């Protein structure tokens, strides 16, 4: 039974096709993908033995709020760039078989849980990338919430000063996501950077100004992760997303010890995720292999 998995991220879309395991996995720009969905799927199928008519199951992960009934999702990062407010998946994927849409962090925790080798029934995945979100499996049960939008922990209030992209005040994401780091540096320290990469580069060269920005980011991550540990009491929290994956020594390593100081619960193990940028696509594979209960 052939399957098609599509991970639509803010910047890149990963498409995997296979049967049980993947036969091929390809990466495209999300802008290009959402403009020509069917052609891009054909492109992704080429290196495999699978044709569009062989596909019986489709799983899609969306980096943004989803409306499952209407089969629509609202990609906050994509829509700014493409002028698209929403993507109607029913129309784009018509005739390709049964479709399941899940949040990208929910998919990532499923991928890590089933294929990441973590050996625990209480696992939380947190992404730190252009935004911040989480997925959780507690006592072996996937938590999704009433609309499948459980994962929005980046919009948890951890401080008071900065305004978040969502309009809220003091949200975790406003202090620590890749997209918001330059804004945070500007508003709190009057420091100008073009992007987060520049901040990390200067920090790695020992620049004392960049150090202030990184310390503030680390504080936010410690508070956010401590809240997650207090709320969900997991054995293990794994981190993914470009900011964590590209700077594990700055973003991930300082966390475990400091979370211990703040969390009421016994400290979870904190580590980098096992599957790198493929956690989400492997979660979709888990969905297609019948490991998603909805």
Told to check if 31 binds Zn ion by CB under 5 A, we report no
Nearest partner of 273 among 126, 62, 60, 132, judged by Cα:
126
Q: List, in sequence order, the alpha helices (H) in 46-124.
A: 76-82, 89-92, 104-115
Query: Who's near 30: CB < 8 A, 6+ residues apart?
Result: 8, 9, 10, 11, 12, 13, 75, 78
Which residue's structure tokens are 């096992």? 274
Closer to Zn ion at the Cβ: 71 or 164?
A: 164
Among 26, 84, 96, 166, binds Zn ion (CB under 5 A): 166
Tokens 């991220």 found at: 9
Least separation, in Å, of the C-beta of 271 and Zn ion? 26
* Subset of residues 125 to 164 that bind Zn ion, contact rule: CB under 5 A: 155, 164
- For residues 166 and 188, which CB has a smaller minimum distance to Zn ion in the complex? 166
The two tokens of residue 196 are: 């987060």
Output the smallest distance, CB 132 to Zn ion, in A: 9
How many residues sit in the footprint of Zn ion (CB under 5 A)? 5
Smallest distance, Å, CB 147 to Zn ion? 17
**Measured between alpha carbons, how far is 140 from 123 in angstroms, rounded to an integer?**
9
Nearer to Zn ion, 31 or 168 (CB): 168
Q: How far is the CB of 230 from Zn ion (least distance, A)?
A: 20
How far apart are CB 171 and Zn ion at their closest, in Å? 4
Give the nearer residue to Zn ion in terms of CB position, either 48 or 180. Answer: 180
Decide if 63 contacts 35 (C-beta within 8 A).
no
Element (H, E) at 236: strand 236-240
- Interface residues with Zn ion (CB under 5 A) are 155, 164, 166, 168, 171
């Amino acid at each position: 039974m052939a399957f098609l998995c599509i991970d639509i991220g803010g910047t890149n879309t990963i498409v995997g096709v296979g049967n049980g395991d993947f036969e091929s996995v390809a990466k495209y720009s999300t802008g290009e993908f959402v403009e020509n969905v069917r052609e891009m799927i054909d492109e992704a199928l080429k290196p495999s033995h699978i044709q569009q008519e062989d596909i019986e199951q489709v799983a899609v992960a969306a980096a943004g709020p989803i409306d499952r009934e209407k089969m629509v999702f609202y990609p906050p990062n994509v829509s700014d760039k493409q002028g698209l407010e929403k993507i109607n998946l029913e129309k784009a994927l018509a005739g390709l078989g049964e479709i399941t849409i899940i949040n990208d962090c929910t998919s990532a925790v499923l991928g890590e849980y089933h294929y990441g080798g973590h050996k625990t029934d209480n696992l939380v995945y947190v992404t730190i990338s252009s935004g911040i979100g989480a997925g959780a499996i507690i006592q072996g049960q996937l938590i999704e919430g009433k609309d499948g939008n459980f994962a929005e922990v980046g919009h948890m209030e951890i401080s008071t000063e900065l305004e978040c992209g969502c309009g809220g005040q003091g949200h975790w994401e406003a202090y620590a996501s890749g997209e918001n780091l330059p804004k945070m540096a500007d508003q709190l320290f009057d420091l100008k950077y073009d992007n987060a990469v520049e901040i990390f580069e200067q920090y790695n060269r020992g620049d004392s100004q960049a150090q202030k920005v990184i310390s503030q980011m680390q504080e936010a991550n410690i508070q956010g992760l401590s809240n997650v540990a207090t709320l969900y009491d997991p054995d293990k929290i794994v981190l993914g997303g470009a900011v964590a994956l590209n700077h594990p020594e700055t973003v991930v390593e300082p966390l475990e010890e400091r979370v211990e100081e703040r969390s009421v619960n016994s400290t979870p193990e904190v580590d980098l995720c096992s599957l790198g940028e493929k956690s989400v696509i492997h979660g979709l594979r888990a969905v297609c292999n019948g490991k998603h209960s909805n």
